[in-house]
C-alpha cells in the first residue's frame, strides 16, 4: 500500500506527468541516435553541438524567440557545417573545435547584451524538465518523430560507412552526404536532450546509455533496444529520485548514467570489437 501511495502522490502533479512525458521522448531518441554516435566515435561532436546550441538559444532570447528554436537552428547549421568539413580535414576534431569556439563566442556576446536572459540561460545549461508544458511536449514529439524517420532512411548507408568507410567509398556511397545528414540528425536529438538535462550534460543521455549498451550487447538491433531502454530507465529513475530527495533532476540522471556505465565495465558480455564483426555479418 505504501509503494502505491508513493507512486500515486508523484503522478498527482501535472508537472511530474509532463516531465515524464518529455523525458521519455528525449531519452528514447537520444539513446537510439547516441548509439550510432558512439559507434562512429563522434561523441565529441555531440558534446560540441550541445554547447553550440547554447549560442542559438541566447541569440533567440535576444530577438524575442523561444530558446528552443534558436537552439535547434544553431545546432542544425553547425551539424551540417561540421559534417561537410569533417571529410576535408583529416582530424575532424579540428573542424568541430573551430565551429564550437566560434559559436561559444557568439553565445557570450548575446548573453552580454541580454542580461535579463541569465535565468533562462541557467536552465538551458543545466536543464529544467520540471518546467516543460504540453506545448513543449508536443514539439518534442514532432522533433523526435522527424529524427527517427530520418535516421531510419539513412540507416543502411550509415552503418556501411561507419564500419567499412573505405569499401563504402569504393562502392560509391557518398560519405560526406551521409556525414552531413547524420550530424543534422544528431543536432535534432541534442536539441531535445538539452531540454531535459541541459547543454552541459548532454553526454548523460547521448553517450552514457549507448556506451553501456555496447558493453552489454553484441548485435545492432539488440544494442539499439538496450540503449533506448537504459536511457529511459535512467530518465524515469532520475525523475523519481529527484522528486523524493529534492536533488536536481539533471544530477540524478547523470549519477544513474555514470553508475550504469561503471557497472557495465565489470561485465564480460562482450569483447571490445565484437559488435563490429557482428554488424558486418548481420
User: What pLDDT is recorded for position 277?
Assistant: 41
Query: Taking a C-beta distance cutoff of 8 angstroms, is the pair 202, 250 a contact?
Result: no
All three cell numbers of 133, joined, read: 508544458
Q: Give me the architecture of the 20-281 domain, per CATH.
A: Orthogonal Bundle (1.10)
User: What pLDDT is recorded for position 116?
Assistant: 60
User: What pLDDT is recorded for position 108?
Assistant: 75
Span 64-88, average pLDDT: 79
Query: Taking a C-beta distance cutoff of 8 angstroms, is the pair 59, 69 a contact?
Result: no
Query: Taking a C-beta distance cutoff of 8 angstroms, is the pair 173, 161 a contact?
Result: yes
User: What pLDDT is recorded for position 269?
Assistant: 45
Query: Taking a C-beta distance cutoff of 8 angstroms, is the pair 214, 35 a contact?
Result: yes
When pLDDT is cut at 50, 70 and 90, the band that residue 243 belongs to is: very high
Give the 3-state secondary structure of residue 5: helix
Query: Taking a C-beta distance cutoff of 8 angstroms, is the pair 191, 46 a contact?
Result: no
When pLDDT is cut at 50, 70 and 90, the band that residue 91 belongs to is: low
All three cell numbers of 59, joined, read: 541569440
User: What pLDDT is recorded for position 122?
Assistant: 64
Query: Which residue's entry shows cell 575532424?
Result: 92
Task: Flag whether pLDDT at 102 surpasses 60.
Answer: yes
Q: Rounded to the nearest 5 degrees, what angle is found at the Cα of 256, between the Cα atoms of 2 and 267?
A: 110
**What are 168-200's pLDDT values in tens digits?**
888 888 888 898 899 899 999 988 888 788 877
Q: Could you give the CA distance from residue 166 to residue 168 in angstroms, rounded to a whole number?
A: 5
> Of 5, 23, 1, 26, nearest to 242 (Cα)?
23
User: What pLDDT is recorded for position 114?
Assistant: 65
Higher pLDDT, 208 or 125: 208
Span 23-33, average pLDDT: 94
User: What pLDDT is recorded for position 7?
Assistant: 55
When pLDDT is cut at 50, 70 and 90, the band that residue 279 belongs to is: very low
Q: Could you give the CA distance from residue 74 to residue 95 in angstroms, rounded to a whole number?
A: 16
- The beta strand positions in 159-265, using DSSP E, are none
Q: Could you give the CA distance from residue 212 to residue 121 in angstroms, rounded to a whole number?
A: 30
Span 151-168, average pLDDT: 90
Q: Could you give the CA distance from residue 236 to residue 195 in angstroms, rounded to a whole number?
A: 15
**Secondary structure string (H, E, C) spanning 40-91:** CCCHHHHHHHHHHHHHHHHHHHHCCCCHHHHHHHHHHHHHHHHHHHCCCCCC
**What are 111-134's pLDDT values in tens digits?**
777 666 556 666 666 777 888 889
Continuous H helices in 128-174: 134-163, 165-170
User: What pLDDT is recorded for position 275?
Assistant: 47
Task: Flag whether pLDDT at 90 surpasses 50.
Answer: no
Task: Flag whether pLDDT at 89 surpasses 60.
Answer: no
User: What pLDDT is recorded for position 152?
Assistant: 95
Highest mean pLDDT: which range of 56-65, 175-184, 229-238: 229-238
Of the chain, the percentage scoring pLDDT greater than 90 comes to 37
Higher pLDDT, 162 or 255: 255
User: What pLDDT is recorded for position 276?
Assistant: 44
Amino acid at each position: 500500500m505504501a509503494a502505491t501511495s508513493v507512486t500515486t502522490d508523484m503522478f498527482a502533479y501535472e508537472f511530474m506527468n509532463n516531465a515524464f512525458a518529455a523525458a521519455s521522448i528525449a531519452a528514447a531518441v537520444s539513446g537510439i541516435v547516441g548509439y550510432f554516435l558512439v559507434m562512429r566515435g563522434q561523441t565529441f561532436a555531440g558534446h560540441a553541438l550541445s554547447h553550440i546550441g547554447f549560442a542559438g538559444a541566447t541569440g533567440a532570447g535576444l530577438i524575442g524567440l523561444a530558446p528552443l528554436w534558436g537552439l535547434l537552428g544553431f545546432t542544425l547549421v553547425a551539424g551540417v557545417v561540421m559534417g561537410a568539413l569533417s571529410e576535408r580535414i583529416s582530424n575532424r576534431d579540428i573542424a568541430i573545435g573551430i565551429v564550437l569556439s566560434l559559436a561559444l563566442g557568439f553565445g557570450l556576446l548575446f548573453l552580454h547584451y541580454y542580461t535579463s536572459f541569465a535565468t533562462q540561460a541557467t536552465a538551458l545549461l543545466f536543464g529544467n524538465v520540471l518546467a516543460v508544458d504540453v506545448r513543449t511536449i508536443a514539439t518534442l514529439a514532432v522533433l523526435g518523430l522527424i529524427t527517427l524517420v530520418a535516421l531510419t532512411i539513412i540507416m543502411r548507408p550509415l552503418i556501411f560507412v561507419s564500419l567499412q568507410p573505405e569499401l563504402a567509398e569504393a562502392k560509391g556511397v557518398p560519405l560526406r552526404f551521409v556525414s552531413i545528414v547524420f550530424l543534422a540528425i544528431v543536432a535534432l536529438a541534442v536539441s531535445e536532450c538539452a531540454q531535459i538535462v541541459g547543454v552541459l550534460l548532454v553526454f548523460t543521455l547521448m553517450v552514457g546509455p549507448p556506451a553501456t549498451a555496447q558493453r552489454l550487447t553484441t548485435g545492432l538491433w539488440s544494442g539499439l533496444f538496450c540503449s533506448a531502454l537504459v536511457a529511459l530507465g535512467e530518465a524515469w529513475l532520475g525523475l523519481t529520485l529527484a522528486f523524493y530527495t529534492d536533488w536536481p533532476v539533471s544530477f540524478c540522471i547523470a549519477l544513474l548514467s555514470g553508475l550504469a556505465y561503471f557497472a557495465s565495465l565489470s561485465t564480460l558480455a562482450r569483447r571490445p570489437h565484437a559488435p563490429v564483426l557482428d554488424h558486418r555479418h548481420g
